[in-house]
Amino acid sequence: MSVPKNKGRLVGLGRRSRSAAPSSAPPPYVDPEVLTAQLKDKDDRISALETQLAAQQAGYETQKKLNEQIMKMMKRMYPNEVFPNIQDP
């Protein structure tokens, strides 16, 4: 009895299992109320982050003005001194 030889074929790769569902499969059912609640939660988190970012920006602007006032005062006190230009973050 002879074993047939298949040229150009890799052994052991004949059947591969799929870890993901095929694209033609319908998506799993999710209750619309659950989706609505998730969207509201994300909207609330985004809103909180936007508020936090606005507060940080205001703090940066205040600090920038204070730094500029300090630099003006330092230049008046030490007119012959050269101060480095510090970039804002």
Per residue in 22-61, pLDDT tens?
667 778 888 999 999 999 999 999 999 999 999 999 999 9
Where are the chain's structural domains? 32-81
pLDDT score, position 18:
58
- CA gap 79, 18 in Å, rounded: 74
Give yes or no for a contact between 71 and 82, defined as CB atoms under 8 angstroms apart.
no
- CA gap 56, 46 in Å, rounded: 15
